[in-house]
Amino acid sequence: MVEVELDSGVAVITVNRPHARNAIGLDTMAELEEALDAVEGADALVITGAGDRAFVSGGDLKELAALRTHEEAAAMAWRMRRVCDRIAAFPAPVVAALNGHALGGGAEVAVAADIRVAAEGIRLGFTQVNLAIMPAWGGAERLAALVGRGRALLLAGAGRVLEAAEAERIGLVDEVLPRASFDEGWRLLARSLANRPAREIKRVIGGTSAEEAVNAFAGLWVADEHWQAVDAVTNRKA
């Protein structure tokens, strides 16, 4: 099942399928679509998995093995790719909280987020090649955007699995947190990003003109929140 939590502007979508290591089947795809519908107005979004063993272990092989035709495989790929596209296009900052291993399709879900925060000890890898297939949900393209074309081909083409620290070193993971404080850490991070400036910054770094970037700044400048913050800083210094 997929769970949705809303807390002070932060939405949390949790894939909770412990019997399948949070793998994604067709029903899970439908539940993810419904969850994204439910959190459209959130100021920040977190995608995570239940437990501490797996973030998302990929596609549910037992269920998806029933897809035997080219048309069925393509339809499944398109459906989950659209889910990942929606995560990537979410207007507010999106954090993938990697509570456990993110392998295969799980790595594809992870790179659809803006920021990846990993618990110590987790492993991350595009391992589809071990099943003689390739990433189908937009993950190969997003991986290349993060680490470069050559490294993306090396990782996904050879199915290499990285420890969290190595993934952080190459920019695939943005921050590694101690397991003991992981939940607290990603929640604090999400709350710190649940603001209008962060939303505008995401839009600007996603690709806008200089005019749009300046207009975004000017809109924030004249907003009441800016002047309230100025007053608070000024009074604190007085």
Separation of alpha carbons 232 and 238, rounded Å:
10
Task: Work out the mean pLDDT of the chain and round it to a whole number.
Answer: 95
Torsions phi, psi for 28 (to 5 deg) = -65, -40
Same domain flag for 20 and 124: yes
Whole-prediction pTM: 0.94
Q: Which domain holds residue 68?
A: 2-192
Compute CA 90 distance to the chain's CA centroid, rounded to the nearest angstrom.
10
19-to-97, 125, 213 alpha-carbon distances in Å: 20, 21, 46
Same domain flag for 134 and 227: no
CATH value at residue 114: 3.90.226.10
- Report which residue type is found at 14: T
Is the CB of residue 100 less than 8 Å from the CB of residue 122?
Answer: yes
Same domain flag for 138 and 232: no
Q: If DSSP codes are grouped into helix, strand and coil, which group holds residue 226?
A: helix
Is the CB of residue 51 less than 8 Å from the CB of residue 18?
Answer: yes
Give a yes or no: residue 203 inside a domain.
Answer: no
Give a yes or no: residue 66 inside a domain.
Answer: yes
Same domain flag for 91 and 41: yes
Is the CB of residue 36 less than 8 Å from the CB of residue 86?
Answer: yes
Separation of alpha carbons 229 and 145, rounded Å:
36
Q: How confident is the model at residue 54 (pLDDT cuts 50, 70, 90)?
A: very high
Give a yes or no: residue 228 inside a domain.
Answer: yes
Same domain flag for 36 and 140: yes
Is the CB of residue 60 less than 8 Å from the CB of residue 30?
Answer: no
- Give pLDDT tens digits for 177-219: 999 999 999 999 999 999 999 999 999 999 989 999 999 999 9
- Give pLDDT tens digits for 106-129: 999 999 999 999 999 999 999 999
Same domain flag for 8 and 78: yes
Give a yes or no: residue 199 inside a domain.
Answer: no
- Total tally of structural domains belonging to the chain: 2
Q: What is the 3-state secondary structure (H, E, C) of 46-60?
A: EEEECCCCEEECCEC
- Report which residue type is found at 128: Q
Same domain flag for 45 and 113: yes
pLDDT reported for residue 234: 87
